[in-house]
Amino acid sequence: MSRLILAFDLGGTNVRCGILDEKFEILARAKTEVGKRPAPEAAVGKMKQIADEALGQLGKKLGDIACVGIGSPGPLNSQTGVIFETPNLGWKDVPLAKLLGDALGRPTFLENDAVSACWGEYVKGVGQGVQTMFIFTLGTGVGGGLIIGGKVWKGPDDIAGHLGHMIVEPNGPTQVFDNPGSVEALCSATACIKAAQNAAVTYPESLLARIPADEITGACVNECADKGDQPARDIFERIGRHLGIACASLANAFNPELGVVGGGLAFAGDKIMAPLRKELRRRALPPAGKRLRMEFAQLGDNAGIIGAAGLALHRLDGKL
């Protein structure tokens, strides 16, 4: 009989869970809000609550679960299960795998959310059949993940795959720490909103200028761009170009087969992807550029849950 895996996708606002079989089909799901800057114990309580809800849908108990996976924003250490810092949740040095494992009584493993999404797309999404791929997840920050030769590559300190901290414009703006012009500082939803606020001032005729500055979201910018607003279109064009530069560096450095763009901003679609591909074709060595297929993530919100489940099962089985 197939083992069951319980997996969580922990976000800044919501936490979602799913129960999956070994083929990573999601058999049941539940979600709830975590609230603003919750105490870790409170968040764990809510996670247990939605786990019980999902188990109830299947008529199962915690004892039927082989292992538990959590995909969480980082930085974190997936070997020790400790979250170093999540600005969105306001956490610092939280041993989440241990806390949740104690609450659920099952072997529990923690993984970076973007790495989970990368693995989800690899086993069940757009990455099926490839051996070497990477992901950029464009959200509040820019997450990343790296699969080399069919294995998640985390490096000796469990920190590899932070592709959002690659540098594409060294004199560019700074986001979280003093690393100006990183992919994160230029291509995150946060950067998109900031660029739109600036464009609204510079181009008072832009549709962006009709939105109160503090109400601008990535979705607003996308709507304006779809209505033909040039300043809004330019924002996505620049994001695509900057991502394309990072993808070209990755192509020339490690010759991957697939690059995936996921996360909230992916709704901008071809407005990001067309300039990305153009910049990649221009800058990659021809065999590397020809090989690297760039695609959007296919699994949406499910990628994180599927990937967290897959990586937890790998850890349980000693394959990671």
Cα 236 to Cα 158: distance, rounded to the nearest angstrom: 32
Closer by beta carbon to a second copy, 149 or else 228: 149
With CB under 8 A as the contact rule, the residue among 227, 287, 300, 317 that binds a second copy is 287
- Is residue 219 within the footprint of a second copy (CB under 8 A)? no
Helix orientation angle between 113-124 and 302-316, rounded to the nearest 10 degrees? 90
Q: What is d(CA 39, CA 146) in angstroms, rounded to the nearest whole number? A: 31
Q: In angstroms, what is the minimal distance from the CB of 213 to a second copy?
A: 29
Q: Among residues 101, 127, 144, 263, which is the contact residue for a second copy, using CB under 8 A?
A: 144
CA distance 148 to 157: 16
Tally helices (H) and strands (E) across the chain.
10, 13
Segment 58-77, which members bind a second copy (CB under 8 A)? 75
The 10 Å CB-count burial string (b at 16+, else e) for 148-162 is eeeebebeeebbbbb
Exactly one of 3, 37, 283, 293 binds a second copy (CB under 8 A); which one?
A: 283
> Total binding residues for a second copy by CB under 8 A?
44
- Please identify, among the stretches 91-99, 211-219, 276-284, 303-311, the one whose residues bind a second copy according to the rule CB under 8 A: 276-284
Selected from 120, 139, 231, 256, the binder of a second copy by CB under 8 A is: 256
Burial class (CB in 10 A: 0-12, 13-18, 19+), 111: buried
Binding site for a second copy (CB under 8 A): 75, 131-132, 144, 146, 148, 153-163, 165-170, 178-179, 182, 245, 248-250, 252-257, 282-285, 287-288, 290-291
